[in-house]
Amino acid sequence: MQISLIKNKKKKTIWIKAAINSLLIMIILLLISGCARWPNGGDGDEKKLLLIRVDINENGQINTDLGKYYIVFDTRAGASQPPSYDREDWKDEYYYIMLDNMGFCFGQWGSSCQYTSIGIKGEQYFQINLDLDSLGNPKKIFMNVITADGNGETYDYIGNPSDLTIDTSIVNFNKVIQDFLGDSSGGPDFDIVKVTITLVS
Ligand SMILES: [Ca+2]
């Protein structure tokens, strides 16, 4: 009787010790993985917002009855140049924002464009606020801004779209890019004159 009691006691202490040990191991593992994640916590922890403002000719006004306004992004890892001004050359993986007479929509060129409230439209400008998460948090973003009709004719685009390229690792990224005045084949309503890009954390 006594011997079995002692045996039970011993069994109990072994179980308790094992439980404490595994608990300690779990705590240590949690601490290690927590510490390991700490230094490169920038991966998604920090929300970044991309603000883009497009200004058109002061003699024109945003005219979604006769045309469309696009901002296009190439965020692919192997990308090396900005998207073309010609929509026929755009790849399915490009993200884009389109402003037409239904408002702002966002999507990938090969899929449907979803209307959202990411932008505001003024008389002679429009501005979009885009979470960098929705572009997949890329390191580099190649861009272009174009105005066009509904059928495929481009009215205006940024003369040197490489100037629009964004390095998302730069803190307080801010750029103002000018485009030629009066070079739109669709008249002043579709003449891009300035693009302002700001990246805020
Ligand atoms: Ca222009």
Question: Which protein residues have a CB closer than 5 Å to ligand 1 (ion)?
Answer: 156, 179-180, 183, 191-192
What is the CA(84)–ligand 1 centre distance, in A?
16
What is the CA(7)–ligand 1 centre distance, in A?
90
Tell the burial category of 74 from Cβ atoms under 10 Å away from its Cβ (0-12, 13-18, 19+).
buried
Q: How many helices (H) and strands (E) does the chain have?
A: 1, 12
Which residue matches tokens 């202490």?
A: 13
Give the model confidence (pLDDT) of 21-45 as tens digits: 777 666 555 555 544 444 433 444 5
What is the CA(160)–ligand 1 centre distance, in A?
11
Alpha-carbon distances, residue 200 vs 50, 68, 180 (angstroms): 7, 27, 27
| pTM attached to this predicted model | 0.77
Give the model confidence (pLDDT) of 107-146 as tens digits: 999 999 999 999 999 999 999 999 999 999 999 999 999 9
Longest CA pairwise span in the chain (Å): 103
What is the CA(192)–ligand 1 centre distance, in A?
4
Decide: helix, strand or coil at residue 152. coil
pLDDT of residue 36: 46
Best CA proximity match to 118, nearest among 69, 174, 52, 168: 52
Determine the average pLDDT of the residues in 62-88: 96
Both tokens of residue 194? 């300035």
Both tokens of residue 19? 């439980």
What is the CA(151)–ligand 1 centre distance, in A?
20
How would you list the strands of the sheet with 49-56, edge to edge?
Answer: 119-121, 125-131, 49-56, 192-200, 174-178
pLDDT of residue 31: 55
